[in-house]
Homo-oligomer: A and B are copies of this chain.
Amino acid sequence: MTDNQIKNDSITRQEDDFAQWYTDVCKKAELMDYSSTKGFIIYRPYGYAIWENIQAYLDKRFKETGHQNVYMPMVIPESLFNKEKEHVEGFAPETLIASEGGGEKIDDRLIIRPTSETLFCEHYAKILKSYRDLPLLYNQWCSVVRWEKTTRPFLRGSEFLWQEGHTLHETEQEARHEALSILDIYDDLGRDLLAIPFSKGIKTDKEKFAGALETYSLESLNPDGKALQCGTTHYFGTGFAKAFDISYQGRDGKIYNPHQTSWGVSTRLLGSIIMMHGDDNGLVLPPYVAPIQVVIIPVAQNKEGVLNEAKKIEEQLKRADFKVKLDDSDHTAGWKFAEYEMKGVPVRIEIGPRDIEHNVVTAVKRNDGVKLTLSRDTLVDDLTKLLKQIHDEMYKKALDFQVSHTYEVHTFDELKEVMDNNKGYAKAMWCGDPDCEAKIKEVTSATARVLPFNQIPCDDKCVVCGKKADKVVLFAKAY
């Protein structure tokens, strides 16, 4: 077996089986591995580093906008968890429950947090006194557990990493503004870091978060025609506040319940990156979220001076703050090419005796395979521009796909045809009746992904019942 085969032999092609291709990439690019507990994956260094880059971006944005990090317990007593009715019903079927500690039975059993609304509420009830304490803008980075029967790496797992924001406000307006502002930060993350254009909008009542009055969502449309919910923010009204006795003395001296939000994105974003950009050679990472932006591969590295020059370039790029790796291991150059293709490194630099002679390097773009010759004299500037160019190309490709795979449909049959062929979004009018929504799911297995903020009607009749309709909905199959 050659070095090359070791890397690429066993990847399924996208067109043969997209789901299997996805799992292959997750494993072969060393993003994750399975543990011995079903649904609990290991986030390997290369995958975790992508998450750290997402964290760094969001944490900075959250702090700039006045949010503070906290850490709540990972367990929730069952009695506390049961306080908000809709919330319980939403999460109870997938909880992991501990009932023995230090060899003794625990009477009020402990739920391993699936989400922490109840814990934040209990704490808020203790610390909130006056309107002066508002807004309370808290965020937490942690992992949560949801006991899932069917699991897929990053997309649906029994444990995943995420951030969960929980905030309290004086007015509905402020709380809704918070939920929408955070959605904008998530949207910026997609545009600036992940090269993913999101569809933004409101969830239907059926699809919203357990206990929320309104759920805002970001969805990505992937090459297999399915949509992925990538981030949500929720406006809770005063429902949780009332259930948990959270109140404060207002400006007029009277007692009020605060308006509440929560919001989160998770390691599911890694799934979105993989699917949106990957190809049959593996991962393709957008430059600004990639753990390695530039890999340097010496060609004929045993020839005098080659390794030395490669190291000089490495030093130069490090000083210029590129995330750079020089692979001077004793693998063949062919093995290395395949390895970093699989890992989706945006730019590969090859440096050999002829390059040195001509004072150039050869640069290969991972996203389209284009080869460039770059002068050593302008390398830093050229690479800076090249990374930006790659990012923009990847974003545009994803956006073009989204636009070209959004189909305006006017009849149920048209909608069904889009779904049966996994073509992408069906943009359709909906009367608002949950029965019509349910029928679509029953027949096509597609769900209402969002009512996009940008409501441009394409008809005036409900795609299901034909009655008058003024709601524009994006329907798609989801994971």
Q: Which residues does A use to contact B, with CB under 8 Å?
A: 33, 35-37, 40-45, 48-49, 51-52, 68-77, 80, 93-103, 110, 112, 119, 122-123, 126-127, 132, 138, 142-143, 145, 147-149, 158-159, 161, 329
A110 to B37: give the CA distance in the assembly, Å. Answer: 9
**Oligomeric state, in copies:** 2
A74, A97, A103: most-surrounded residue (chain B CB, <10 A): A74
Cβ B45 vs Cβ A69 within 8 A = yes
Q: How far is the CA of A97 from the CA of B44 in the complex (A)?
A: 25
CA of A383 to CA of B252 in the docked complex: distance in angstroms?
A: 42
Contact B329 A132 (CB under 8 A): yes
Q: In the complex, what distance in Å separates the CA atom of A122 from the CA atom of B42?
A: 11
Q: Is the CB of B72 within 8 A of A123?
A: no
Which residue of B has the minimal Cβ distance to A38? B101
Q: Is the CB of A72 within 8 A of B132?
A: no
Does B143 contact A71, Cβ atoms closer than 8 Å?
yes
- Name which residue of chain B comes closest to A119, CB basis: B35
Offer 17 A-B interface pairs, CB within 8 angstroms, sorted by A.
A35-B72, A35-B73, A36-B77, A36-B122, A37-B73, A41-B73, A42-B71, A42-B72, A43-B71, A43-B72, A45-B68, A49-B68, A52-B69, A95-B102, A97-B98, A97-B101, A98-B99
- CB-based contact A102/B112 at 8 Å: no
| Contact yes or no, B98 A159, CB < 8 A | no
In whole angstroms, how far apart are the Cα atoms of A110 and B41 in the complex? 15
User: A98: which B residues are within 8 A, CB to CB?
Assistant: 96-99, 112
CA distance A145 to B77 in the complex (A): 15
Chain B residue contacts of A143, Cβ below 8 A: 71, 74, 142
Q: Which of A36, A123, A126, A143 has the most CB of B within 10 A?
A: A36
Q: Residue A96 contacts which of B33, B52, B71, B100 (CB distance < 8 angstroms)? A: B100
Residues of B within 8 A of A149 (CB): 102
In the complex with contacts A36-B122, A40-B75, A123-B33, A99-B100 CB distance below 8 A: yes
